[in-house]
Amino acid sequence: MTDRSRSGGARVHEAVRTGTKVGGFLPSADRRLTVLSGPSGVGKSTVVAELRRAHPEVWLSVSVTTRRPRPGEVHGVHYFFVDGEEFDRLVGAGELLEWAEFAGNRYGTPRDAVLEKLAAGVPTLLEIDLEGARQVRRSMPDALLVFLAPPSWEELEKRLRGRGTEPEDVIARRLDAGRVEMAAEKEFDLTLVNTDVKDVCHRLIALMTDPLGVTTTTNREV
């Protein structure tokens, strides 16, 4: 039995929690954490929905948000919808792995659920914004950060407006945030261009389940 396998879930759990190395390397569970980011409207939630349908072996973290539910969104499935007071409590209690404010609302990743899945070796995906991705980069340096890019800026704007779920001022804020997110693409390990949802899912799954891909990837379009 290797030192690594003997270390057990608790040690990995602790190492993942603190972002420290176990015996000179980060625990393998850390490498199973993938972060998907990209500008609002690029189609992250469509990709996540397709993953949920086609790849139940991947665990998708359910975020907490102060945003109101959109039609069809279900509490506990798409988000945990909470008020500002509850969000403050979660932040204060250190229950969020990362959190950020985005276009007037707050969003965060419940820490324990993620750490439990990682400790169990389950491929885990976070769909979060740029600020959140940067926080994960700092606390879990071996996580794979994937940037989902639109085929073009015009296409992004079209998708965001076409969704028809937000008023113009919210769309404007999301487009502003989108410009900042697009400029940060190079901070990510690699970029997937969302021309076809099934194709993106296929590539994402390959990356998540191929540990070698994690160590050899650089930022490039795949």
Token reading at 17: 């929690």
Determine, following the binding rule CB under 6 A, whether residue 117 of this chain makes contact with ligand 5GP.
Answer: no
- Residues 183-222 interacting with ligand 5GP (rule: CB under 6 A): none
Smallest separation, CB 41 to ligand 5GP (Å): 8
Please, which residue, 79 or 142, has the CB nearer to ligand 5GP?
A: 79
Determine, following the binding rule CB under 6 A, whether residue 100 of this chain makes contact with ligand 5GP.
Answer: yes
Q: How far apart are CA 39 and CA 91, in angstroms?
A: 24
Phi first, then psi, for residue 206 (nearest 5°) are -60, -40
Please, which residue, 27 or 108, has the CB nearer to ligand 5GP?
A: 108
Residue with tokens 């189609």: 43
Please, which residue, 15 or 103, has the CB nearer to ligand 5GP?
A: 103
Smallest separation, CB 77 to ligand 5GP (Å): 13
18 burial (CB, 10 Å; 0-12 / 13-18 / 19+) is exposed
Please, which residue, 28 or 139, has the CB nearer to ligand 5GP?
A: 139
Determine, following the binding rule CB under 6 A, whether residue 40 of this chain makes contact with ligand 5GP.
Answer: yes
Please, which residue, 82 or 119, has the CB nearer to ligand 5GP?
A: 82
Please, which residue, 109 or 194, has the CB nearer to ligand 5GP?
A: 109
Residue count at the site for ligand 5GP (CB under 6 A)? Answer: 16
Please select the residue that binds ligand 5GP; options are 34, 66, 109, 124, rule is CB under 6 A.
109
Please select the residue that binds ligand 5GP; options are 29, 82, 123, 127, rule is CB under 6 A.
127
- Residues 80-99 interacting with ligand 5GP (rule: CB under 6 A): 98-99
Would you give the distance in Å from CA 203 to the centre of its chain? 16
Q: How far apart are CA 113 and CA 117, in angstroms?
A: 6
Which residues would be at the binding site for ligand 5GP (CB under 6 A)?
A: 40, 44, 63, 67, 98-100, 102, 107-109, 127-129, 131-132
